[in-house]
Amino acid sequence: MGIAFESIADAVLVTQEKLVKRGAFVDLQTDYQDHVAVRNMWKQRQKKFEGGDTWDFQAQMDHNHSAKAVALYQTDNSADTDNLVTGSIRAKHVNAHYIYDLRLPDFQRGGTKIVDLVKAKYVEMMVSFYEKMEEYLWGTPTTSTDLITPFGIEYWVTKSGSSDGFNGGNPSGFSAGKAGISQGTYARWANWTGRYVAITKSDLIRRMREAHTKTNFRAIVDHATPIVGSGRGIYAPYSVLGIMEEELEKQNMNLGNDMASKDGKTVFRGTPITWVPYLDRAAVTDAPVYMLNWKHLVVGIMAGWESNLTPPYRVADMHNVRRVDLDVSFNMLCTNLRNQAVINTAG
């Protein structure tokens, strides 16, 4: 038996809400074995920002250089300095949707057929959303004139062909710098970068050790800092992780009967190294290893726009078609670039 014309929207809404609460669906619609950015960043490292869609933070780029040795009765030389710089970003907006026709056969059958149909369409929308979010969270807009694309890891943690050090400057196409602060003006506004050739202890691992050590700053004076999260993460393509696992097996003599005993157990200074399928794409030729400090890196969410799912509404010029929208307003924010590192090959 079919359901009443006016009840279809209610049936869709109820079914959809239950699916959202359960979050249960099986996904065979993507080539990525895992959506690491969605799982590790979007779902676990969100921070809600109140008060609109412009998010500011301050960085003190230098001290006042007033300390010096003095003589008795020496005349003071006083000078004021202003070393506080404001970084600012805006929320970006992402939309996904699905549609259905009121005359679809499953709506006429009622019961579980409606549930199955709504679930299938809802899953299609969510997979599209997560696929695009994986791209946004790892990526970067190509130019500052792109006011739509969100900032991702590649925007905040930039690569360099220079010798190892704090050389992660302005992203390509962003002469004003990250969050409007130019590394050309403020040299300390830069992430750590490195170049490796071989995945060996004497090359990549040595560079990772140096990066991990030299991005660990300790303030000499206690003061409030814009800490937005906690923990660390290390992320790499399989071309890197697979060889690391083999190197790990070489230094462990007692492997037992397991031919791949170290798979999934590779750790660097207590932090698991996570495989990122998105970094295995053909377009990524430089095998990057990202070493991220989540104390100063976060996915910011505009309050009230975390995951807005609309009730079904009529599509203009299609009076029997209904549409459901998912709207999210967010952007990625880094408040301290010197705690972040990327090490890659020449490509």
Looking up tokens 């700053």 gives 217
Would you state the pLDDT for residue 223?
64
**What is the Cα 241 distance to its own chain's centre?**
20
Residue 173 inside a domain? The answer is: yes
- In the three-class reduction of DSSP (H, G, I as helix; E, B as strand; rest coil), residue 178 is classed as strand
Residue at 65 is within a domain = no
- Do the strands 297-302 and 46-49 form a parallel or antiparallel pair, or are they unpaired? parallel
In the chain, which stretches have pLDDT less than 70?
A: 1-28, 53, 105-116, 223-227, 252-264
Cα radius of gyration rounded to whole Å, the chain: 25
- Residue 126 is encoded by which pair of tokens? 């969510």
In a domain, 82, yes or no: no
**Terminus-to-terminus CA distance in the chain, angstroms?**
61
Whether 188 and 338 have beta carbons less than 8 Å apart is answered as yes
- The model's pLDDT over 107-150, given as tens digits with 9 standing for 90+, comes to 666 556 666 677 888 889 999 999 999 999 999 999 999 999 99
Give 144's DSSP letter.
T
* Beta bridge partners of residue 98, listed in sequence order: 324
Q: Is residue 77 part of a domain?
A: no
Residues 50-59 as b/e (b if ≥16 CB within 10 A, e otherwise) read eeebebebeb
Residue among 292, 329, 338 at smallest CA distance from 136: 329
Residue 152 domain flag: yes
- CA dist 149 and 10 (Å) reads 34
CATH number at residue 283: 3.90.1690
CA separation for the pair 286, 71 (Å, rounded): 57
> In Å, how far are 137, 191, 330 from 131, measured between CA atoms?
10, 27, 16
Domain count of the fold of the chain: 1
Whether 267 is covered by a domain: the verdict is: yes
Single-letter code of the amino acid located at 134 = E
- Express each pLDDT in 278-296 by its tens digit: 999 989 999 999 999 999 9
Does residue 251 lie within any of the structural domains?
A: yes
Q: Give the pLDDT confidence score for residue 285 in this predicted structure.
A: 95
Give the rounded distance of the alpha carbon of 99 from its chain centre: 29
Q: Tell the burial category of 33 from Cβ atoms under 10 Å away from its Cβ (0-12, 13-18, 19+).
A: exposed
> What angle is formed at CA 129 by the lines to CA 123 and CA 135, rounded to 5 degrees?
135
**Amino acid identity at 126:** M
Residue 73 maps to a domain: no
DSSP conformation class of 99:
E
Which domain range does residue 197 map to? 5-21+32-55+87-182+191-344
Distance (Å, whole) CA 281 – CA 49:
33
Whole-angstrom distance, CA of residue 15 vs CA of residue 11: 6
